[in-house]
Structures are given as C-alpha cells and as structure tokens.
Amino acid sequence: MREIRLSDMDDIARGAAILGAGGGGDPYVGKLLAEVAIEKHGPVSVVDIGDVPPDAVVVPVSSMGAPTVGTEKLPSGHEAITALRALERVMGRKATHLVPIEIGGVNSVIPIAAAAETGLPLVDGDAMGRAFPEAHMVLPTLIGVSCTPMVIVDDKGNTMVLETVSNQWAERFARAACTEAGCSVFTADTVLNGRQLKAGLVAGTLTLAHKLGRAVRLSPEPVATAAALLDGRLLITGKVVDVNRATTGGFARGQARIEGIGACRGMRMTLSFQNEHLVAERDGEIVTSTPDLICVLDNETGDPITTEGMRYGNRVAVLGVPCDSRWTTPEGLRLTGPRAFGYDHDYMPISVGGKQ
Amino acid sequence: MTGYRLGVALPGSRTSAAILDPEGRVVVTVELGSDTPGDVLDAVLDAAEPHGIRAGDIDHVMFAVTDLRVMNDLAAETGSWRGWPGRLARVAAVRLGAATTSVPPLTLWPQELQQRVVVASTCLSGGAMLDGSDYEPLDFEGLQAFARQISGVAGAVAITGVFSAVTPRHELAAAEVLRAEMGACGAILLSHEYGGLGLVERENATILQAALTAPVAEEAAKLLNAVNRRGMNNAEVFLARSDGTIATLDNAVTHPLSLLGATDATAVVGASVLAGEKDALVGLTNVDGSVRAVCALTDCGPRMTVGQTKVAGVPTGLSVPALVPIHASVEEAIDRAKEAPGDLPLLLVGPGARTFVKSLKPQSPRIVGTALAGTVKVESPVAAEAAAAVGAAAAPVVGEARRIVPLNSPGLEEIRAAVREAARASAMRAGADPANVSIVSADEKPLAYLSEPTVVMRVRAGGPPRDGGTR
C-alpha cells in the first residue's frame, strides 16, 4: 500500500477490528475522524519500514481509555496533533513519520487522521501486531526503548508530560491521568528512530489490515479467507451458550462457553477474556493462549465479535492466529503471556488435535 | 361483559384485527385486503356481534402501525421523505458537549434530509462525565441565545447531552431554559429518554423523533377518532412498538422511531400466542403464499437486531426485529435465523400462511411433520392470517431503564434498586397496570478498558395494560 485513500478506510477498519482479537475498541469513531481528515487534506502516504531513513523520528500517536467512552464523549479532533506538537517541544525535534502503536482496533486508524492533517508519512507497521491493553506491552519495551517522554492530552486541551523510570510506571501514571480525564485521552509516546524500526515494530501490518478487511468483505467464505490470510487455525465453529462476566480484582474478567456445531458438533470450548480474548480451551485442553491472537468471528459474515459483544446465541468461528515471534521469547511472555494477565498457567503454542 | 381487547395490525396494503376475551382467548379474527383502519374495525365488530360482544365491551384497542402514513417511507433504508413536504417538524438540534466537535451534529445525514428537517444546530458547553460530574458547565447564556434564534422558526427541539445515560441533569435543565425562553414551541425531546450509548446515534435518533412527533401524533389522533366513532368510548388506545410490546398512544407518539417494524414484531408475538410456543421460528408470509422473511421467536418475543440501524439513511442505535429475508430458499433462511443449533417449530403467519403450508404437502394443510430442514414441525396455527393483530392485543406493556455505574460507587445496592424502580415507573408511564408490574430482565454489562470496573445496567419491567375505562 503506497497511500491510504478515503475508499480504503472501511477495509482498514474492518481488518483492524479483526486483528484486535476481541479488543482494541471499535474503530468506528476513529474511522470517522480519519475520513473527515482525508477528505479535507487528501490521501496519506505510507512507507515501508525499510524505506525509512536511519535518523527519522517516528512517533506513535494513539488514544487511551475506554472505547465505549470514546463513542459517547467524542474527541474534539485536535487531541492527537496537540499531543504530537507538545512531544516535539519536549524532545526539541520534529516528527518525520507517524505510526500506529497497535494495529488492533481504533488505534490503527487514529494516526491515519493525524497523518492526513500534518502531511507526515505513515510507517507501515505497528508496535504490537495486535491489541494489548497496556502502554508497556509493546515491542519497543523489549529492546529498551522508553515509552517516555509521553504526552497525554484530553479533549479540553489539558496536556501532561510524563518522564518515568520504566515503561510499567508510564502505564500506571498514564492510566491514572486517563481515569481522571474521564477515561478517554490521546497520547504521543514511545518515539523510535529509523534504526529501531525493524526491532521495535511488526512490519507491514497496515497493509495486512487493509488486505484482510477487503478480502473478508469480498469473500463468499469470509472465515476461511481470514484464516488463510492470517495463517490462523480454526479452533471451533460453534454457538455461544453461556457468557459469564465478573469484575474482580479491578479487571473485567469474562468467560464464554461455546458448543460446536456442524463439523465441530460435540466439541466444547471455554474462552477466557478480559479486554481481549486471552485463552481458549477446547475439550479441557488449552489450544491457544495470549500473546497469540484469538479472533472470534461471526460464522457467516466474518465480522469480528468483541469481548463486549459476546452474547448468548452468537454463532461464531474462533481462530487461533500466531503472534509475532518476538512475543513468545521469555522476555516477551513476561510482558504479555497468560501469567501477565493473572492466569495460573504458562503460554501454550497454538495446538489443534486430530479432530480439526 | 367488559374486559375485551381489540388488536389491529396495519402492515400496508392489507389489515387484520382480532378480539381477545378477558382471559386472553381469541374470540374472532378478520383479515382484509383493505388498507383502511375503519374497514377492519367495522369488519371485526360485525364478526363479534354473534358472540354477544358490543363495541362498549372493549376496554383496550391496540394498533400495530408500522405503516402509519408519515412513518412509511422513513422505514426504508435509503429513505424517501419527500412524500409529505411540510409535514415533518422543523427541528433545532442542541448538543451539550462543546469539546466533541470532531463529529459535529448531522455529520452523517444525507444533505437533502438535513436541509429539510433541521433549521439550526449548535454545540454548547454541558454534558456529564462517566462518574456523573459535570463534563463542562452548562452554558445557560448560550441556550438563551439559541432559543431566541430559533423562536418562531423551529417546530421541535432535540437535546442530546454527553453521557445523559449517566445523568440527564443538563438535558433537563436545558429543556427548562428553552421552554422559559420560547414558550409553547412544540415538542422538546431529550436523548436520555431514548437511551443507549453512542452520542452520534442517540443524537440522530432524537432529532428524527423530534421531526416525527407532531405528524405521528396527528396520524394517531385519526386512529383514536376511528375508535371513538365506533362507540368504543371506554377503550384506552395503545400502539405497538418494534420490540413486540405496547404503550399508550400518548406515550408512544413521543418515541415514534420505536413504532418502526411493529407489525412484524406483533406477528411474531401473535404466532407465539396462537401456537402456544415460547421459542420457535416464525415465517412471515405474503398474500401469494411466499415467505417474506423468517424471524426467531425467543421467550415469547421477536429476536432483535444489535447495533446500528439506518433510518432514512441516518445511523441510529435503534433495535428492530431481526428479520432474515429469503435469499435462496426458506430452509437457508431458517438456518440463518436460528439462534441455537437445535431444530425448532416453524410457525407460518400472515395472509399467505395456509397457502404456503399447503404448497409443502397438500394432503395435510395444518401440520406438515418435518417437511423443511431445521424444523421439528411446520405449522400454520388457527387464525394465522391475523397473527399480527392477535399479537398486538396480547402484547405486554414494558418499560426500560439504563444507567452506567462504576461498581465502586457508594450505595451500589441503592443504585440498583433505583434503576429497577425507574424501569417500573417507565412501564407504568407506558400504561402498565401498576398492581402487576414485575421485572422482566436485568443485566449488567462491564465496559472494556476501564481501570475502575464500570457496568451498563439495563432493567426491563412490564406487565399487562392497566384497566380500561380510564379514559
């Protein structure tokens, strides 16, 4: 993809929602912002990681907080640029490129709006390869890049700058500020130079989101098409028979039970989710676990079903999709493996037994 | 004897009516190839006479009016509102939330509709935060200035505040300011009464309802006249809503969008009543015996759509019956309509119900075993032609309350009780019998990505309509 035009936005948003693995927030409002910006300023140019000069200043801009709040307390539209400009003042350098911090959900499209408005090119990649809930759960943490200076901006124009001793502390303070601001803020943080992109980003994910969204829209068999494009495994096709949501220990934790239908009749799956789908057990065995992606799709349309949207009667196909391999190193798993989310077991690679 | 209920369905070119006795049994039904409410009222009263039922014995009249003239074209996805120039109210739209202008009011509206319906719109300081505190201070002066600007120009006002589902304080205060400044200026609609999260969709729905309230009330008054002219002077009139429930005429006309799809919804409820099934699939038929769509019947009501519904090209948060149209075959539609893998009864209703069943297996017109995949039986219940009228007559009165609550709120149990009470009050406002209102459902759904667990509480309460003869 060389540039992003207005007509690409629907497909990018659809693909990004699938890559959100049940979370990341509905890209709907972010897509509107990007469409308004592209309409006004023209298409956004996209560059491959390999084409970015070594001394480039690459800035991720994103939103933080509850996506549901974002659909109610709409942004003013100035937040991302305000955050970017404030960060430039703190750094004493101008951004040369923008990039999504995560490809899953709404944060895949926020930088598109900002790129259209500033005229800066967008790097084809992101720092997660999916959606994760916390600021330090990014590949740059693994290579020692700091999330700070981090600029946090709310819709009223309140601007905060964080300098912290670790990326975990950046997450803690940013989250507190976000709550105080009404659970929806914008941030510019985790600045990379051109030399750090290969190690700090997953390459080509904007193109992947676009390709995925388009293929699912056009395919007569959207689920199979999505699985093939993502190198994913179909874990079960079934019906959601029970959704259980509890809010304990400060996290919204949920479980869904799925009973197999069609060729999967007789199988049972238990899906554990928080903000994203995190662990899938089939007939008592863990078949996929975080940081691998668990994508729950509408069995017919291939539309992603978010953790908030899980309800009795959904007919779903559950895909296990391998994450970027850097996440399955010991350091990667410490940040994003099952234990990082409070589950009492280790990461299990995607495994589907003889039945599938 | 009194206590009879009369249901009337006006789905378009045909009409049906049914009278239920005080125990809810179907006494008579009629189904006509006429689109005039008066014709079908005369026909059903004539049919009731041999049973000793006179007009004065009827306590409740329920209309399912999907095709209320003014609503007709708004129901279409693309919307052709030109049918009645001058009839929609000219609306002034107020958004309370000055820092939300990335998506200004009316952004997603077709331009022509916008020019036709909206005379002025503004974004003023106001609204709430997720915790119920003020998002921005309410801009009283701005409201007064806007009131002067629209006075004499606007026929209705739609007010939408950020997080009015958490607290409607600013919407209520803003309405007071406008009313004081403008006097009797037509309806002022507040978005929290419409409910739901998602500012843009709720705002769109509130503006559309404001445009429709006066003309829909005018149309509804004609129905009321038709009832009165036939001597049903004791009867209270209700309108059916898109979820298969009913509300008094006065209450229903202030939420005109909730009338969309009502005849489909009551057809599903009627199928449930006539066949004595709580969970099934309902096939809605055309007069020629073809099936128009299949809808799942779940716990005596229609399965509803989730997410956005476009009305006249405008995205709203409206929920309507989840009809599965026939693309390939009826069997394929059955499969897609199902919520669960198990086979279910298929109930055929509407003017072509019997013709369709006959076409499957001529020798047995009523019950057809399992002639269609995915079904345990295929049945056209007695009086299936008038199912939509039966459903309207038998439907419950339901009210709903929603609130967003952080779970660490002090007095959480009191808040839960207050939401339940609000749902009961909403049901009573809609015309439920105060002595028989109970909680129908209560759920709490957590919102993702919040450090303080916060839930959307949604409670529905309902019961039978209040005693007739109160009018």
- Neighbour-count burial of B392, counting CB atoms closer than 10 A to its CB (0-12 exposed, 13-18 middle, 19+ buried): buried
Pair A180, A228 in one domain: no
**At B353, is the secondary structure helix, strand, or coil?**
helix
Q: Return residues 145-184 of B near A (CB < 8 Å).
A: 162-163, 165
- What does the mean pLDDT of chain A come to? 93
* pLDDT of B424 over the 60 cut: yes
Q: By the 8 A CB rule, do B346 and B281 touch?
A: yes
Give the domain CATH number at A264.
Answer: 2.40.390.10
Beta bridge partners of A244: A255
Beta-carbon contacts below 8 Å between A and B = 118
Chain A residue with the nearest C-alpha to that of B135: A182
Tell me, yes or no, if A180 comes closer than 8 A to chain B by beta carbon: no
Confidence of residue B130 (pLDDT cuts 50, 70, 90): confident
- The confidence score (pLDDT) of residue B34 equals 86
**Nearest by Cα to A223 from A277, A279, A301, A286:** A301
Tell me, yes or no, if B197 comes closer than 8 A to chain A by beta carbon: yes
DSSP strand pairing (B344-349 vs B280-285) = parallel
Tell me, yes or no, if A352 comes closer than 8 A to chain B by beta carbon: no
Chain B residue with the nearest C-alpha to that of A301: B336
Model-level pTM? Answer: 0.88
Does B234 reside within a domain? no
Tell me, yes or no, if A255 comes closer than 8 A to chain B by beta carbon: no
Tell me, yes or no, if A309 comes closer than 8 A to chain B by beta carbon: yes
Does A211 reside within a domain? no
Does A247 reside within a domain? yes
Q: Collect all residues of chain B within an 8 Å Cβ-Cβ radius of residue A77.
A: 101-102
Last residue of a domain, one of B345, B363, B391: B391
The per-residue pLDDT for range B54-63, each reduced to its tens digit, is: 999 999 999 9
**Nearest by Cα to A134 from A116, A156, A150:** A150
- The confidence score (pLDDT) of residue B78 equals 33
CA atoms of B267 and B349, how far apart (whole Å): 7
Selected residue with higher pLDDT from B38 and A59: A59
Range(s) of the domain holding residue A307? 221-341
pLDDT, average across residues A42-69: 95
Confidence of residue B85 (pLDDT cuts 50, 70, 90): very low
Pair A12, A141 in one domain: yes
Tell me, yes or no, if B412 comes closer than 8 A to chain A by beta carbon: no
Last residue of a domain, one of B185, B208, B225: B185
Element (H, E) at B434: none
Range(s) of the domain holding residue B453? 396-463
Pair A29, A133 in one domain: yes
The per-residue pLDDT for range A237-254, each reduced to its tens digit, is: 998 988 888 765 555 688
Pair A47, A75 in one domain: yes
Pair A183, A304 in one domain: no
* pLDDT of A273 over the 90 cut: yes
Pair A199, A265 in one domain: no
Does B208 reside within a domain? no
* pLDDT of A323 over the 50 cut: yes
CA atoms of A126 and A82, how far apart (whole Å): 21
Beta bridge partners of B465: B432
- The confidence score (pLDDT) of residue A313 equals 77
Confidence of residue A47 (pLDDT cuts 50, 70, 90): very high
Beta bridge partners of A286: A281
- The confidence score (pLDDT) of residue A355 equals 42
Pair A123, A227 in one domain: no
Contact B103 A254 (CB under 8 A): no
Pair A288, A318 in one domain: yes
Lowest mean pLDDT among A290-299, A306-315, B239-248: A306-315
B408: distance to nearest CA of chain A, Å? 10
Selected residue with higher pLDDT from A49 and B257: A49
Q: Collect all residues of chain A within an 8 Å Cβ-Cβ radius of residue B199.
A: 71-74
- The confidence score (pLDDT) of residue B68 equals 54
Q: How many CB atoms sit inside 10 A of residue A204's CB?
A: 17
Q: Collect all residues of chain A within an 8 Å Cβ-Cβ radius of residue B448.
A: 23, 25, 66-68, 252, 275, 306-308
Pair A231, A292 in one domain: yes
Interface test with B, best of A68, A81, A158, A186 (most B CBs within 10 A): A68
Give the side-chain half-sphere CA count within 13 A for B378.
26
Q: Collect all residues of chain A within an 8 Å Cβ-Cβ radius of residue B163.
A: 72-73
* pLDDT of B50 over the 70 cut: yes
Partner-chain residue, chosen from B340, B446, B448, that has the shortest CB–CB distance to A23 = B448
Does B326 reside within a domain? yes
* Number of structural domains chain B divides into: 3
Pair B400, B352 in one domain: no
* Number of structural domains chain A divides into: 2
Q: By the 8 A CB rule, do B432 and B399 touch?
A: yes
Q: What ipTM does this complex have?
A: 0.84
Last residue of a domain, one of B364, B391, B418: B391
CA atoms of A21 and B392, how far apart (whole Å): 42
Contact B97 A36 (CB under 8 A): no
Confidence of residue B73 (pLDDT cuts 50, 70, 90): very low
Torsional class of A306: left (φ above 0), alpha (ψ -120 to 50), beta (otherwise): beta
Q: Give me B78's structure tokens.
A: 């693309």
Pair A200, A225 in one domain: no
Q: How much is the CA Rg of chain B, to the nearest whole Å? A: 23
Confidence of residue B339 (pLDDT cuts 50, 70, 90): confident
Pair B143, B62 in one domain: no
pLDDT, average across residues B425-434: 95
pLDDT, average across residues B439-459: 86
Pair A241, A167 in one domain: no
- The confidence score (pLDDT) of residue B313 equals 82
- The confidence score (pLDDT) of residue B234 equals 82
* pLDDT of B441 over the 50 cut: yes
Q: Return residues 109-168 of A near B (CB < 8 Å).
A: 133, 155-156
Does B191 reside within a domain? no
Pair B271, B380 in one domain: yes
Tell me, yes or no, if A173 comes closer than 8 A to chain B by beta carbon: no
Residues 6+ apart with CB under 8 A from B53: B4, B19, B27, B28
% pLDDT > 90, chain B: 59
Pair A277, A135 in one domain: no
Tell me, yes or no, if B129 comes closer than 8 A to chain A by beta carbon: yes
* pLDDT of B79 over the 50 cut: no
Contact A179 B197 (CB under 8 A): no
- The confidence score (pLDDT) of residue B71 equals 54
Last residue of a domain, one of A205, A231, A250: A205
Pair B347, B417 in one domain: no
- The full 3-state SS of chain A, as one line of letters, equals CCEECHHHHHHHHHHHHHHCCCCCCCCHHHHHHHHHHHHHHCCEEEECHHHCCCCCEEEEEEEEECHHHHHHCCCCCCHHHHHHHHHHHHHCCCCCEEECCCCCHHHHCHHHHHHHHHCCCEECEECCCCCCCCCCCCHHHHCCCCCCCEEEECCCCCEEEECCCCHHHHHHHHHHHHHHCCCEEEEECCCEEHHHHHHHCEECHHHHHHHHHHHHHHCCCHHHHHHHHHCCEEEEEEEEEEEEEEEECCEEEEEEEEEECHHHCCCEEEEEECCCEEEEEECCEEEEECCCEEEEEECCCCCECCCCCCCCCCEEEEEEECCCHHHHCHHHHHHHCHHHHCCCCCCCCCCCCCCC
Q: Give me B204's structure tokens.
A: 């769109």
Pair B270, B294 in one domain: yes
Does B146 reside within a domain? yes
pLDDT, average across residues B103-122: 89
Partner-chain residue, chosen from B99, B103, B452, that has the shortest CB–CB distance to A32 = B103
Pair B380, B411 in one domain: no
% pLDDT > 70, chain A: 97
Does B78 reside within a domain? no
- The confidence score (pLDDT) of residue B75 equals 43
Partner-chain residue, chosen from B336, B450, B455, that has the shortest CB–CB distance to A183 = B450
Q: How much is the CA Rg of chain A, to the nearest whole Å? A: 19
CA atoms of A125 and A198, how far apart (whole Å): 10
Tell me, yes or no, if B200 comes closer than 8 A to chain A by beta carbon: yes
Does B433 reside within a domain? yes
Q: Which amino acid is at B277?
A: E
Q: How many CB atoms sit inside 10 A of residue A343's CB?
A: 18
CA atoms of B51 and B58, how far apart (whole Å): 13
Chain B residue with the nearest C-alpha to that of A275: B448
* pLDDT of B70 over the 70 cut: no
B168: distance to nearest CA of chain A, Å? 14
% pLDDT > 90, chain A: 81
Confidence of residue A103 (pLDDT cuts 50, 70, 90): very high
CA angle A78–A83–A88, rounded 5-degree value: 130
- The confidence score (pLDDT) of residue B1 equals 65
- The confidence score (pLDDT) of residue B390 equals 98
Pair B267, B339 in one domain: yes
CA atoms of B369 and B342, how far apart (whole Å): 16
- The confidence score (pLDDT) of residue B232 equals 92
Residue with tokens 């509709």: B113
Pair B329, B363 in one domain: yes
- What does the mean pLDDT of chain B come to? 88
Interface test with B, best of A39, A68, A69, A72 (most B CBs within 10 A): A72
Q: By the 8 A CB rule, do A31 and A9 touch?
A: yes
Does B224 reside within a domain? no
Pair B61, B178 in one domain: no
**Nearest by Cα to A315 from B342, B309, B316, B261:** B342
Contact A72 B162 (CB under 8 A): yes
Last residue of a domain, one of A171, A205, A239: A205
Confidence of residue A212 (pLDDT cuts 50, 70, 90): very high
Pair B375, B250 in one domain: yes
The H helix count followed by the E strand count for chain B is 12, 21
- The confidence score (pLDDT) of residue A171 equals 95
Does A141 reside within a domain? yes
Give the domain CATH number at A50.
Answer: 3.40.1610.10
Pair B247, B372 in one domain: yes
- The confidence score (pLDDT) of residue B28 equals 97
Contact B306 A75 (CB under 8 A): no
* pLDDT of B367 over the 60 cut: no
Pair B385, B250 in one domain: yes
- The confidence score (pLDDT) of residue A347 equals 97
- The confidence score (pLDDT) of residue B86 equals 46
